[in-house]
Structure 1
Amino acid sequence: MTFKTLFNEYINIFKDIQSNSEIVNKNNRFKNHIEPVIGTMEIESIKFKHCQQIVNNIIKVKELSPKTAKNVNAVVQTIFNYAIKNEYTEKNPANHVIIPKFDNKYNIDLSSEQIKSLIDNILTFENDMYRLIFIFALHGRRKSEILKMQYYQLDLTNDIYTIPPQKNKSRKYDSHEMTPLLASELHSYLKTKENIQQKDYLFLNENTNTYFKDIRKPFNQLKDLSNISKMRFHDFRHLLGTESIKKGVPIEHISQALGHSSIEVTQRYITKDAKISKKVVSSLLDTFVSKDEK
C-alpha cells in the first residue's frame, strides 16, 4: 500500500465526522508537501529520513515557517497512526522528526485608541447583521463559528449559545452565556426574522441561500472607520486574549471564553514584559520592607 492510497482511505473514512475545513487543510498539506516526497512510496519502506525530508523542504527549500512544518508533519503522524490501528504497519517514522523551535506567541499591535475606536465603530455599525457578526467576534468566536451558526444553537430563554463539537476546533460542546450587549443585539436582530427553522443559518446569505463565505467588504469598512490598516478577522480572538491577560483575568477563564482545548493554547497570548520583574519585586518590598530600608 502506498502512502497516497493510505491517505485517501483515511480521508474517505473520516470525511463525514471531520469539518470540511479540516479535510481541505489535510488535502492541501498532502498535495503541496507530502505527496511529492512519499506519496508513491510503500508505507513499509518510508523511514525517518523521508519524513524529515518533508520538513527540511518546507523550511529550507520553500522557506516556510517551522509552524507550517509542524502542521504538515502532524498530518503524516495522523495517517501513520491510522495505519497502525489497522495493522498495516507497526511503526510511525514521523514521530521522530526534528522541527526547529519557534515562538507561537502572538500579540496584536493595536493602540488603546485604535481598540476603543474599533469597539465604538462595531457598536454603531449601520448594518445590523454585520454589527451582530462583529459583536460575536468581540466575544472571541472564530469566523467560521459565527458564519455557520444555526438557530438550534441558541437558547433564547436563558440567553446561552452553544458551539457543537463539529463546529469548533476543540471537538467538544462549547457553551457560553451571553453578555447583556450580545443578548440585546441578538434579540433585536431576531425581531426582523420570520418563519425561522432550527436548521436555518443565523446569518443567511440570501443570494446563495446558505451561510456567508466572504465578509471582507464590511470588515474592511470597519477597519477603515477605525483607522486600522493591518488586522485579520481572527485577530478579534487575539485581542480578547491579549487584553484579558493584561487586565489580570485568570488564564483558565480566558481559555474557556475562547473555547481552547487546553490552557497551553491560551498561553500564546502571554508576552514578556520588561516591567514584570520590577512589579513583582516592588510588590514584595512594599509588603515586607519599611520605607526607611528601601
Structure 2
Amino acid sequence: MTFQELYKTYIQLNEPLLSSQTLKTYHSINRKHFAQFQEKQISSLNFTDYQIFINNLLKSGLKTKTVKNIKALLSVMYNLAIQIDKTEKNPLKAVKLPKFDNKRYFNKSIETQKKIIDSIKDYHKMNDKPFSDVLFFLLHGRRLGEVLKLRWNMVDLYTGVYMIPATINKAKQSQVHLMTDELKSMLFKRYDQYYRDDEQLVFENPFTKKRYSNFRKSWKRFLKDNNLPDMRLHDIRHLIATYSVNHLNVPVEHVSKVLGHTDITTTQKYLTLSHSISKTVIDRVLEA
C-alpha cells in the first residue's frame, strides 16, 4: 500500500466523523507536506524517515504545536494501516518532538478583561446587526463555528435550552446549555424576525441564505472603535476562562462545562495565575 493510498483510505473511512474544517486542514497538510511520501510504500518508511521529516519541519520555522498536529495525523493513519493489516508497526510512536508550552496565555489586565466584556455587552445593546448577536453569543463560551452552524431545531426557546450536537463541536459530544435571560431574549427576537423552518440556520446570511463565512473585518472594527487591544475572536473563550477563575473565583470544573471541554486539563491550559502569586505566597511565609 502506498502512502497516497493510505491517506485516501483514512479520509474515506473517517470523513463522516470529521468536521469540514478538520478535513480542510488535513487536505492542506497532505498537499503541503506529504508530497515526498505519496508514491512510497508505507512498509518502506521507517522511524528514521519520519524523524528526519519532523526535524526538517521544525527547521523550516513551523511551530512545534503545528508539527505535533502533522505528526498526529501521520500516527492515526498508521494506526489504521495496522488495523487493516497493511503494516505491523507505527513508526511515529518513536518520533520525538521538543517539549513546548501549550498553555493558553491571556495576558490582559483584569481592568482590560472587564472592559472587553462590558464593550461586547454595550455593543449588543446598541446594535441589531448580525455580528452584534453573534459576538454576544460568543460571550457565552461558544466557538464561532458552533454559533454559525446552529439551527433552529437545536434551540428550544420555551425551556430556554440550546444544544450543540456532536457534529458541530470540537469535542465530538453533544452538549446542552441553559440560556441566560439576555441570550433567550436575543434568540426570541431573531426567531420573530427571521424564522422560516427548523432546518434554517439561526444566523443565516439574509442575502445568500447561507452561513456567514467570517466576521474578521467586523471584529477588527469593533476593537478599534472601542479602543481595545488586538486579539483574536477566539480569544473570547480564553477571556471567559481567565476572568471567571482568576477574578470571579468560579471553580474550574464549572468553567470547563461552560466551554464544552470533555477533559478538565484542557480548561486548565486556558488559565493563568496572577504574576504576583509567588510574591504573595512568600510574603505569607515570611510573615507567619
Q: Under a length normalisation based on structure 1, what TM-score does the superposition of the two structures give?
A: 0.89
Please say if residues 164 and 172 of structure 1, whose CA atoms lie closer than 8 Å, have aligned partners that are also in contact. Answer: yes
Counterpart of 1:147 in structure 2 is 148
Counterpart of 1:44 in structure 2 is 43
List aligned pairs for 1:28-107, cutoff 5 A: 28-33=28-33, 35-60=34-59, 62-107=60-105
Match of 1:161, SS state, is strand
List aligned pairs for 1:211-250, cutoff 5 A: 211-247=211-247, 248-250=249-251
Cα distance in 2 between the residues matched to 1:275 and 1:112: 13
Match of 1:255, SS state, is helix
Q: Which moved more, 1:142-151 or 1:273-282?
A: 273-282
Task: Pick closer, same or farther for the CA change 1:272–1:121 going to 2, 3 Å.
Answer: closer
Task: Pick closer, same or farther for the CA change 1:108–1:3 going to 2, 3 Å.
Answer: same
Match of 2:9, SS state, is helix
Q: Which runs of 5+ in 1 are unaligned?
A: 286-292
Tell me the CA shift for residue 80 of structure 1. 0.5
Tell me the CA shift for residue 117 of structure 1. 3.5
Cα distance in 1 between the residues matched to 2:172 and 2:142: 15
Tell me the CA shift for residue 279 of structure 1. 4.2
Cα distance in 2 between the residues matched to 1:50 and 1:228: 47
Cα deviation code 1:250-289 (max 9, x no counterpart): 211111111113112111123354433454567789xxxx
Alignment root-mean-square deviation, CA: 2.0
Counterpart of 2:185 in structure 1 is 184
List aligned pairs for 1:165-184, cutoff 5 A: 165-184=166-185
Residue 130 of structure 1 aligns with an amino acid whose one-letter code is F
Q: Which runs of 5+ in 2 are unaligned?
A: none
Counterpart of 1:290 in structure 2 is none
Cα distance in 2 between the residues matched to 1:149 and 1:187: 14
Please say if residues 58 and 68 of structure 1, whose CA atoms lie closer than 8 Å, have aligned partners that are also in contact. Answer: no
Task: Pick closer, same or farther for the CA change 1:272–1:27 going to 2, 3 Å.
Answer: same
Residue 67 of structure 2 aligns with an amino acid whose one-letter code is A
Counterpart of 1:22 in structure 2 is 22
Cα distance in 2 between the residues matched to 1:24 and 1:104: 23
Cα distance in 2 between the residues matched to 1:100 and 1:181: 46
Cα distance in 2 between the residues matched to 1:182 and 1:39: 49
Cα distance in 1 between the residues matched to 2:130 and 2:256: 27
Q: Under a length normalisation based on structure 2, what TM-score does the superposition of the two structures give?
A: 0.91
Identity in percent: 35
- Post-superposition, which runs of at least 4 consecutive aligned residues in structure 1 deviate over 4 A? 277-285
Please say if residues 170 and 260 of structure 1, whose CA atoms lie closer than 8 Å, have aligned partners that are also in contact. Answer: yes
Counterpart of 1:289 in structure 2 is none
List aligned pairs for 1:253-268, cutoff 5 A: 253-268=254-269
Residue 90 of structure 2 aligns with an amino acid whose one-letter code is N
Cα deviation code 1:175-211 (max 9, x no counterpart): 11111221222223322224x2111001111222111
Residue 259 of structure 2 aligns with an amino acid whose one-letter code is L
Cα distance in 2 between the residues matched to 1:284 and 1:175: 45
Please say if residues 43 and 89 of structure 1, whose CA atoms lie closer than 8 Å, have aligned partners that are also in contact. Answer: yes
Cα distance in 1 between the residues matched to 2:185 and 2:284: 41
Q: Which moved more, 1:15-24 or 1:115-124?
A: 115-124
Residue 109 of structure 1 aligns with an amino acid whose one-letter code is N
